[in-house]
A and B are shown apart, each in its own frame.
Chain A
């Protein structure tokens, strides 16, 4: 049975609170402005919102990659795996990360890892080692790199993966991708450059293509709407500012004129 490790500063903290409450009869009541009572709770609330989720994630399953990234995970079972014979692709695995599961509470995984299956090793019950220098990318690119798996990730009941296909969507998931495997020596500067090429030239355009397919004619309507809204009127503030300082556009055109004169 593993021993429960309880940090000493937790003990000191709890003892200090008990000690202060025990000393209560020795002191009298004073009038305290409400601000001094509410403020500490506001600070704690803020700290819990900002850092509290990480406490949960720190207690969950661990996924570490060769690119020095530590992730937490709700589940250590991969969402999808490919191991198809006769395929030019190496067997790949799609692992969801970024969530948490601890003491009966869980947060779904919102990010994804797409790596070679041969680069994944499970260590004990709680850890997954990924021997791949993963490249952090927008989650949308999963649509281009592994289209079928992307659809699974977006629609699986236990997944929180959101490929940001719409520019108005506020947050999107992150994809950590690699075709390299440092455990078996499939890693070099040339291979990394080739991987970047696959991401830039193939995955990006493929994800655009898929977006077009999903949205149909709406895709073009949105494009035109975006172009139309880019041509806009100046705000009163910008107009007012223009009296004192030329706008960036005016400066740029003036600079271009100067260049032409030269």
Chain B
């Protein structure tokens, strides 16, 4: 507690020094000027603004919901996933909307479909290749994405089933197909499942044994009272005690 208060006081002093020093430096730099082309100063500001903006955007994207594939990772606004039945192919397709971002505490966000109706889609030949993770915050699309060419993407968007499903909102899209998965497998059920109640009992037993032996340290310490004395005595008292001890020792040797 005391340490914390001391540290807080120290950090306040440091902060005040920084602020006052910074203000003085600011005043100093205001008074001194340097001849520079106006466009150069604008270029510096643009460079620095861009660098700070990109660094900030990275944090937004890092904390956004994401869609994981076997090869790539995409951010997403809310992990929108749809199942579309294509009559011509007689297949249910899984469609994931990606490339938006949305980190609640980071102010910035971008929808998966932009205002111009452009988006990025991940399409799987079966909806079972897509699964949600962490209550839908993360989407796992099992497969390696292969990007379609522009013509192929237009042809895909013009399919009647896709038009019927997204025609109103999507006008253009970058489409990635995930043809096959290398990571889908039957779940292996663990055979060594023990209840946490058993674990608790075992841990309590082990802990009791270890703690019992560790308590010996405490007992030994308490028997040895010199350490406690060390705290109770001030340095002056200690010096006086040592002096007395030396005096007594001296007297003893004299007697001898």
B-binding residues in A (CB < 8 A) = 2-3, 9-10, 13, 16-17, 20-21, 23-24, 26-38, 40-41, 43-44, 47-48, 50-52, 54-55, 57-58, 62, 64-70, 88-91, 116, 118, 121-127, 129, 131, 167-168, 179, 181, 183-184, 186, 191, 194-195, 197-198, 201-202, 205-206, 209-210, 212-213, 216-217, 219-221, 224-225, 228-230, 232
Judge whether B29 and A197 touch: CB under 8 Å: no
B207–A230 contact, CB under 8 A? no
B89 lies within 8 A of chain A by Cβ:
no
Q: Output the nearest chain A residue to B147 by Cβ-Cβ distance.
A: A3
Q: CA separation between A122 and B140, bound complex, in Å?
A: 12
B85 contacts A by Cβ under 8 Å: no
Interface contact B204-A206, CB-CB below 8 Å: no
Chain A residues within an 8 Å CB radius of B47:
17, 40
Bound Cα distance A194, B45 (Å): 56
**Cross-chain contact of B29 among A33, A70, A229 (Cβ < 8 A):** A33
A197-B200 in contact given A124-B70, A206-B207 (Cβ < 8 Å): yes
Residue B164, interface by CB 8 Å? no
Known: A68-B135, A217-B217. 4 other contacts (CB 8 A): A21-B43, A24-B40, A202-B204, A206-B211
Could you tell me if B66 and A70 are in contact, using CB atoms closer than 8 angstroms?
Answer: yes
Q: Is B37 an interface residue (CB 8 A)?
A: yes
The interface residues of chain B lying within 8 Å CB-to-CB of A129 are: 68, 133, 140
A47-B56, A123-B68 in contact; A88/B1 too (CB < 8 A)? no
Sorted nearest first, the 5 A-B pairs with minimum C-beta distance are A40-B48, A124-B70, A51-B55, A194-B196, A47-B52
Closest to A88 in B: B202
Query: A91–B49 Cα gap in the complex (Å)?
Result: 50
What's the Cα separation between A205 and B71 when bound, in Å?
A: 44
On whether the beta carbons of B196 and A205 are closer than 8 Å, the reply is no
List, in ascending order, chain B residues with CB within 8 A of A47's CB: 51-52, 55-56
Q: How far is the CB of A65 from chain B (nearest CB, A)?
A: 7
Interface residue? B186 (CB, 8 A): no
Q: Does B236 make an interface contact (CB < 8 A)?
A: no
A64 to B67, CA, bound (A): 11
Select B200's contact among A29, A37, A198, beta carbons within 8 Å: A198
Cα–Cα, bound, A61→B152 (Å): 32
Chain B, interface SS category = helix
Kindly identify which residue among B35, B71, B207, B221 contacts A31, using a CB–CB cutoff of 8 Å: B35
Give complex CA distance A55, B43 in Å.
23
Q: Which residues of B contact A36 (CB under 8 A)?
A: 41
A118 to B188, CA, bound (A): 8
Q: Which of A20, A33, A70, A88 contacts B30 (CB 8 A)?
A: A33
The answer to whether residues A30 and B38 also contact, given A64-B138, A88-B198 and a CB cut-off of 8 A, is yes
Q: Which residues of A contact B144 (CB under 8 A)?
A: 124
Nearest CB of B to A80, in Å? 18
Docked Cα-Cα span, A37 to B220, in Å, equals 66
Cβ of B32 under 8 Å from chain A? yes
Complex partner residue of B221 from A16, A54, A67, A217, CB under 8 angstroms: A217
Residues of chain A within 8 A of B58, CB atoms compared: 51, 54-55, 58
Q: Do A123 and B38 touch across chains, with their CB atoms under 8 A apart?
A: no
Q: Is the CB of A34 within 8 A of B37?
A: no
A16 to B49 alpha-carbon distance, docked (Å): 12
Tell me which residues across on chain B come within 8 A of A62, comparing CB atoms: 66, 68, 73
How many angstroms between the C-alpha atoms of A66 and B56 in the bound complex?
Answer: 26
A35 with B2: in contact, given A70-B63, A198-B203 (CB under 8 Å)? Answer: no
Complex Cα–Cα for A23 and B42 (A): 11
Within 8 Å by CB of B48, from A33, A44, A64, A168, lies A44
Does B248 lie at the interface of the complex (its beta carbon under 8 Å from any beta carbon of A)? no
Answer whether A212 and B217 are a contact pair too, CB < 8 Å, given A20-B39, A37-B36, A43-B52: yes
In the complex, 21 of the A-B residue pairs with CB atoms within 8 angstroms, ordered by the A residue number, are: A2-B72, A13-B54, A26-B39, A29-B37, A34-B30, A34-B33, A35-B26, A38-B29, A40-B47, A54-B62, A62-B66, A66-B134, A88-B202, A89-B194, A123-B142, A124-B70, A129-B140, A181-B190, A198-B203, A202-B204, A220-B227
* Bound complex: CA A206 to CA B31 (Å): 62
Docked complex Cα distance between A13 and B211 (Å)? 62
Structural contact, A20 and B35, CB atoms closer than 8 A: no
- When C-beta atoms are compared, the residue in chain A nearest to B131 turns out to be A129
User: Within 8 Å of chain A (Cβ to Cβ): is B228?
Assistant: yes
Task: Evaluate whether A184 and B134 lie within 8 angstroms (CB atoms) in the complex, with A52-B55, A64-B68 already known.
Answer: no
A37-B41 contact given A127-B68, A202-B207, A209-B214, CB 8 Å threshold: yes
